[in-house]
């Protein structure tokens, strides 16, 4: 049920972290994958890794906050692969600060990368999915899209927006055979988590130990989130849309 053979996918933020793990997993399950990221060197590295394993991949450099870049990614993927079945929106940034200590530019950047990018990719991907007979869109939110967190007002606001944007898109496009779902990861071992520790001025080892204080007693690995994305992209979740899947080792359980 989780076989993606013949499927065509776009993964934003696919050069590192959760996006990179998901791009690789989608390719191993048979999908052709277009990787969109601002980091051209790392993006091409992922393409080379997928090709070395016999997969099919394309890299398109992209600033996910720019409409013309997002449109170019969707156009290139459609042209190269002949359609589009899966969109995984994993590009994201974090800024750790209170409302008083967050500048307007910092607020705008977080909202642009974490929310506007999903709007833009949806705007251009949905028509191509309709032409392809339907598809699956998976948006990455966060546990802090469901509960608040200290010193992270822009991030929490953006991830909360992703949860309801997902539900609204699911309502609009279900009749077009497009499912739209959301993953809320807990703390996951990615460059973003390391950057978060740096922003807070905390020792990395101590920060990770604190993040692992949850029922499963560890932080997530990118592959943990990739497996959830695979489920939502595949026919195993054929009757699932408009939902929020928490993948956090039990962090929000109590």
Q: Which of 113, 164, 145, 160 is nearest to 248 (CA)?
A: 145
Residues 121-165 pLDDT 10s: 999 999 999 999 999 999 999 999 999 999 999 999 999 999 999
- CB burial string 143-179: b at 16+ within 10 A, e below: bbbbeeeeebbbbbbbbbbbbebbbebbeebeeeebb
Assigned domain for 195 exists: yes
Interatomic CA distance for residues 93 and 112, integer angstroms: 10
Taking the C-alpha atoms of residue 18 and residue 112, their distance in angstroms, rounded to an integer, is 19
The answer to the question of residue 254 being in a domain is no
In a domain, 1, yes or no: no
Active site residues: 155
Q: How many domains does the chain fold into?
A: 1
* 2 belongs to a structural domain: no
Q: For position 122, which CATH number holds?
A: 3.40.50.720
Any domain includes 242: yes
Residue 217 lies in a domain: yes
41-100 pLDDT tens trace: 999 999 999 999 999 999 999 999 999 999 999 999 999 999 999 999 999 999 999 999
Range of the domain at 230: 8-247
Give domain status of residue 252, yes or no: no
Indicate whether 153 belongs to any domain. yes
Q: Which residues of 199-219 are buried (b: 16+ CB within 10 A; e: fewer)?
A: eeeeeeeebbeebbebeeebb
Give me 193's structure tokens.
Answer: 């988590």
Task: Say if pTM beats, i.e. exceeds, 0.95.
Answer: yes
């Amino acid at each position: 049920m989780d076989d993606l053979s013949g499927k065509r996918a776009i993964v934003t933020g696919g050069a590192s972290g959760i996006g990179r793990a998901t791009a690789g997993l989608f390719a191993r399950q048979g999908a052709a994958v277009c990787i969109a990221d601002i980091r051209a060197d790392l993006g091409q590295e992922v393409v080379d890794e997928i090709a070395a394993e016999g997969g099919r991949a394309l890299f398109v450099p992209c600033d996910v906050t720019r409409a013309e870049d997002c449109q170019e990614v969707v156009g290139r993927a459609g042209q190269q692969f002949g359609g589009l079945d899966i969109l995984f929106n994993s590009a994201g940034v974090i800024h750790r600060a209170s409302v008083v200590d967050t500048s307007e530019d910092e607020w705008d950047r977080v909202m642009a990368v974490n929310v506007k990018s999903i709007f833009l990719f949806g705007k251009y991907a949905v028509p191509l999915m309709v032409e392809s007979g339907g598809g699956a869109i998976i948006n990455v939110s966060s546990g802090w899209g469901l509960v608040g967190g200290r010193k992270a007002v822009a991030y929490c606001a953006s991830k909360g927006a992703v949860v309801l944007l997902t539900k609204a898109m699911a309502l609009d496009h279900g009749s077009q055979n497009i499912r739209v779902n959301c993953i809320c990861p807990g703390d996951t071992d990615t460059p973003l988590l390391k950057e978060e520790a740096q922003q807070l001025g905390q020792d990395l080892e101590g920060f990770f130990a604190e993040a692992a204080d949850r029922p499963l007693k560890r932080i997530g690995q990118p592959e943990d989130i990739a497996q959830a994305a695979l489920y939502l992209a595949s026919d195993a979740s054929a009757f699932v849309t408009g939902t929020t899947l928490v993948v956090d080792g039990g962090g929000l359980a109590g």
